[in-house]
Each structure stands twice: as C-alpha cells, then as structure tokens.
Structure 1
Amino acid sequence: MLRRVLAGATVAALLLTGCGAQESAPESVSIGGVTIVSHPSLDLIWEGVKEGLADAGYVEGENLTLEFQNPQGDQATLTNIANTYAGSDHDLFVAIATPPAQALAQVIQDRPIVFASVTDPVAAALVDSMEAPGGNVTGTSDQLPTDQQLKLILEIDPTVETVGIVYSASEVNAQVQAEAAIEAGKELGIEIKTATIQNSSEVQQAAESLDVDAYFTLVDNTVVSAMESMVQVAEQKQALLVSSDPDSVARGAAAALATDYKAQGLQTARMIVEILEGAAPAETPVQLQESLETVVNAEAAERMGVAIPQEVLDRASTTD
C-alpha cells in the first residue's frame, strides 16, 4: 500500500524508498473517487478513468483498489463522503465535477486530488492557475468555447434573437459559464436571459419562466440531471434546445457542441498515472479536453419546430 504523500511530494519517491529505482507499477494503489450526481456524461468519465488506468497496468482487483461514491446531488452527503475519505487510507482521489473537487480539497491536503469536468478550477479556488496549480490538486477541465456554441444555435436557426439559460446558483462552474454566455451573446447580437435554480425539481418551472427563441444548457450537473424537463419545455414552446454534452442530445436536445466525456476520462487517467509515477500535482498543469464533437438529433429538432441544416448534419459525429 502506498503511503500518504504531502502536497508536492511524489508517490514514486515513497515507492522507491528501500526498494531501488524500479520502473514498475506499485504493488498496491488505492483510489477513492466521487461524483456529484448520476448522469451519462459523468458516468462516462469514470468509465474512462478505469479504462485508462487498466491500460497503464493498474488493474482493479490486482494492484488497484477503487472506491466510488455518489451523493446524488446532496451537499450534506457529499461533505460526509469527503470527511470519510480524509480519514481513509486511499493514496489518491478522483473528483468528477466541481462540487466534489471543492469538498475534497477543503479537507484533504496530504494526498493528490485529480479532478475531471471542472469548468473553471481557478474560479472554484481549486488551483492557483491553470499552468501552475500550486497545491495537491490538478486535473482536466471541460471548458467549452461558448461563442462557438452560440454560433451553432444561430447556424441551426438564424432567426434566434433570445436564448434562455437555466443554471444552478450553487455551482461555480455554471455561474462562470452563464457569465461567459452573456458576454459572447453581446458579440453575436443575442440576448441571453437566465433563470437560476437550487435543485433539479425547479428546472421545468425556471425554463417555462423564460420567454425566448431558444434554450442553451451549460455544463451544469443539476440541470443536466433534469434534461427531460428542459426538452419538454422546448417542445411545448417550439424553441430550439442546444446542450453542452452529447448524452443530452440522446435524451432529446436538438444538438450539442460538446466534450467527449469518455475521452476526458481517459485523459484524466493519464494524468493520474503521471502523478502515481512521480509528477507533483502542484507542478502538473490543468489540461483542457482534447476533443470536441458536434452531435445532432434531427428528430428532436423537428419536435421543436426546427430543421437541422444539411451542412450541420454533414459534420456531426453522430446523428440520432
């Protein structure tokens, strides 16, 4: 079992103590993972992490022990999970989404924390900067080009003048994205109207309160968990709905310019391996997602009264 490491220290240095400089996977590594809520995109990240670790020789049940927790969006439960992990023997922690990363970072400073799907880790106070995190926390960010996402809305429906965004007031990443969308909208001549929520049960009412031509969902775990409510409102109002994750398209959104979440999980696993093999989190830059994909659901768009242009269909990675 690996020993705990202080921020900036390396796991490899501990492994080599008394056993010589061997370039091999440790005999036993224990990792604690936590997400914020169940939905397909976040689930794909964890699948990618496990697959990437296995590809690097860290095989669960052999030289790898994994524990995975899900508070299902409940902050009190998340806090309890973080406190339990702080008292555990895990060597490294994986946090999927901003709230779990913040919860772990508040109580764990002596071992590495690698996050995934954190939109703005600087604004979330997880790292000093993207280039030099400065502590025991680093990972992958799912920052997306908001202006390009809004341009996709206009490309699909050039008549759109107002776009509605429902977002969680308690998620820093969602607030940052909403602000970016408002600024990008000004440049594109689009008025962004917003409505905030506290939990997923408020999504439908918040969406209905917005008088807009189209809807845009952010990388917002609370809203995405209630995507069917957004779809229902969009269809009722005959308003285009574009999302920020591919799985929401399969669930009824018309289109997305999105992160490939399985690929992000694999990318996160590579960072984990680097840290297990000696890299210091403080000096390991936060990485942006390596690939974006355009995803469309032509039938869903039709139910919203919109036809996806052929040029968009031609470049879409998947068409449902």
Structure 2
Amino acid sequence: MKKNILKRVLTLALAALLTLSLFACGKKNNDSSTSTSGATSYKVGICNYVDDASLNQIVDNIKTQLAAIGQEKGVTFEISYDNCNADSAVLNQIIANFIADKVDLMIGVATPVAVAMQAATEGTDIPVVFAAVSDPVSAGLVESLEAPGANITGTSDYLDTDAILDLIFAANPGAKNIALLYDQGQDSSTTPIKNAKAYLDKKGVSYKEYNGTTTDEISLAVSSIVADKADAVFTPTDNTVMTAELAIYETLAKAGIPHYTGADSFALNGAFLGYGVDYANLGVETANMVSGILLDGNKPATTPVLTFDNGTATINTDICKELGLNYDDLAKTFAPLCTKVQSIVTAENFDDLNK
C-alpha cells in the first residue's frame, strides 16, 4: 500500500516537473523572438545633411524601397530618420543616438554625414552605407570605388563637369565670362570646380569664383555675378547653393544669366538647367545595397561603390521662357551631348509637380 502511494506521488511530481519544463521552454522561445509572425527586424538609422529637394528625394526613395523589400522578404526595417541641417554638433548627436539605439546599419546622405558616420563607427561592427557622395575616394571614405576596403560603401553622384560646360558653349558659343558659384566648405564641390577651371583654362575662357556658406551669402554672391555681367553660372552638386536656389533663381533669370547646375533638383527650384544622375534611382539603389548587406551578408569592404550615368539634362521651361530661349531648339542642340533631355517647371519639391 505504501509502495503504491509512493509510486503515485513520484508520478505526479514527475508530471509537474515536465509541465514546468515545457512551459519554461515555451516562454523562453517567445521572449527571444525579434518580431511577430516569425519576421526578423533590422534597425536602420538615416541621417540627411540638409533639407533640399535632391537629398529629400533620395531619403524618400530609400524608405519606399526598403518597405517594398521588407514586404517581399518578410522582414521589417525599423527606420530612424533625422536631419542635421548642416550643423556638425547636431550631426554628431544624431549618430550617437543611433549607436545608443544599437542600429544594425547607418545610412549617411551626403559627404559630411558619411564622413562623420565613418569616424564614429570605427572599431564597431556597424556598417555604413552612404548616398550621394560625389568623390568618396578624395573624401577618404574608401580606398577605391571597386574595393572600399573598410566597413563602408554606398552610392556616388559623381559629376561629369566637362559635360555640363559643353552644354554652356553649345547654347552660347560666344560665352566669355563664366561664374563659378559654390561653397568652399562643400567637399562635393572641390573636384568639380578644379575640373571646371582646367576646362575653361584650356578653352581660354575667363572665369571668376563666387562663394558663400549661407543662403544670404549666396544671394550676395549672385548680386555680384549680375553686376559683373557673367554669361553663365556653373554650380556643381553643392548643397549650400541647392538650399539657396529658391532665393536666387529670379535674380539670375531677370538678369538674363542661365544657371547650369549638377542636379535636376536645382532646375526644379528655378535654375535654368540641371545635369546629372537620377536621384530617385540613386535612392532605390542605396536601399538595395542596404538589403544586400543586412539580408544577404554582403561585406561593405568588398561591395563596390555604385556610380551612375550622368547624362540627363533637365531644363526649366519657366526660366527658359524668361531668358528668351526656346526649349525645343535647346533640346535638339543638347541631344547629341546627353543621354536624355527633359523638361521641368519651378516648384519647391518634386511631389508638388503631381498636385
């Protein structure tokens, strides 16, 4: 009798222990899940340098493409986005916040952001993907475009300066005085301005440099350009001038001076012409690169920097009329020098064109 009672007690105790063990295992499994429905979640920190049409377009397309990839692959990209507005102290704080939040990857839009991210993540395992860095080698971000060599890679909006200047002289073969408008502190302007000087020196055409670091300073520089009666203005992919474009385009147009620039967003904001990469596509390809690193295990150090065809010329037809020029005639003149010639009208953002 005692033996049966003891056997029954042992059986009940063993069953209780087994139940507790199964419950504990199940609880541990649920706690370790990164998200619901078995999906995996990745934290991505995006920092934009300034609020302008080109860079905003890049960010919008990065977000949209990551969302599409996430839906297709059954993963979630938790995006933290911020804009430092060209303030280095704010930029460093944003990056520090990303690190504290333990992001899986950082995206730096424009050269200053990419440089700061690379410095801040040195010695960590956080990969950095940059977007719209005009000269990543000269900026010290990568060893070469083909083999970055560090925990960073990305997309470049390298500018074919000679191609833009060719357009100036195709439209006005007699141009003799070219204004070079840019911010000396912008890394994206250093190489293109150097190349522009070499081009103009070889052609025997006079030029003068005009600089500014704020919208007010750029506006003053434009006043000097008008007073000096420049035949045309050249600006590369300079974020400071891009931010100021809405404040200066009318002054240049009224003076009859065409502004040739390194991105279609300048033309959107009132420049006569923007020549360069498709920033919407650049954003998409940046997101694809992020996906390759996080989902496919690609190593940034061996992932080539992606460059694009700079062959699209975007003409602002509003400014074209004000300058007394004919869009159709210009399109025919520029066609042999470009992959594509397209038109645009003045607006603050690309989304405004669809309203």
What range is the shorter-chain TM-score in? 0.7 to 0.9
**1:281 alignment partner in structure 2:** 300
| Greater RCO (CA < 8 Å, at least 6 residues apart) | 1
User: Partners of 1:263 and 1:254 in 2: how far apart?
Assistant: 22
User: Partners of 2:325 and 2:245 in 1: how far apart?
Assistant: 19
**2:116 alignment partner in structure 1:** 103
Q: Secondary structure at the match of 2:40?
A: coil
**2:157 alignment partner in structure 1:** 142
Question: What TM-score do you get using the length of structure 1 for normalisation?
Answer: 0.85
Residue 260, structure 1, aligned to residue 260, structure 2: no
Residue 303, structure 1, aligned to residue 322, structure 2: yes
Amino acid of the structure 2 residue aligned with 1:234:
L
Amino acid of the structure 2 residue aligned with 1:256:
G
Deviation, 1:50, is 1.7
> Which moved further from structure 2: 262-271 or 176-185?
176-185
Contact 1:161 1:213 in 2 (8 A): yes
Amino acid of the structure 2 residue aligned with 1:197:
G
Give the percent of matched residue pairs that are identical in Structure 1 and Structure 2.
Answer: 29
Residue 318, structure 1, aligned to residue 337, structure 2: no
User: Partners of 2:89 and 2:209 in 1: how far apart?
Assistant: 27
User: Partners of 1:157 and 1:60 in 2: how far apart?
Assistant: 52
> Which moved further from structure 2: 84-93 or 216-225?
84-93
User: Partners of 1:102 and 1:199 in 2: how far apart?
Assistant: 21
The runs of 5 or more residues in structure 1 that have no matched partner are 1-24
Contact 1:234 1:304 in 2 (8 A): no
User: Partners of 2:297 and 2:97 in 1: how far apart?
Assistant: 26
User: Partners of 1:85 and 1:202 in 2: how far apart?
Assistant: 33
Q: Give the 3 Å change call, closer, same or farther, for CA 169–129 of structure 1 in structure 2.
A: same
Residue 35, structure 1, aligned to residue 35, structure 2: no
What is the RMSD of the two structures over their aligned residues, measured on CA atoms?
2.3
Deviation, 1:312, is 4.3
User: Partners of 2:74 and 2:269 in 1: how far apart?
Assistant: 34
**1:154 alignment partner in structure 2:** 169
- Structure with more of its chain in helix, by fraction: 2
The runs of 5 or more residues in structure 2 that have no matched partner are 1-37, 346-355
**1:45 alignment partner in structure 2:** 58
Q: Give the 3 Å change call, closer, same or farther, for CA 190–272 of structure 1 in structure 2.
A: farther
1:82 to 83, 95, 108: 95
Deviation, 1:92, is 0.3
Whichever of the two has the greater Rg, that structure is 2
Question: What TM-score do you get using the length of structure 2 for normalisation?
Answer: 0.77
Q: Secondary structure at the match of 2:174?
A: coil
Aligned residues: 296
Query: Where does 1:3-42 land on structure 2 (aligned, <5 Å)?
Result: 27-42=40-55
User: Partners of 1:201 and 1:106 in 2: how far apart?
Assistant: 31
Query: Where does 1:218-229 land on structure 2 (aligned, <5 Å)?
Result: 218-229=236-247
Contact 1:147 1:184 in 2 (8 A): yes
**2:32 alignment partner in structure 1:** none
Deviation, 1:244, is 1.5
Deviation, 1:263, is 0.5
**1:176 alignment partner in structure 2:** 191
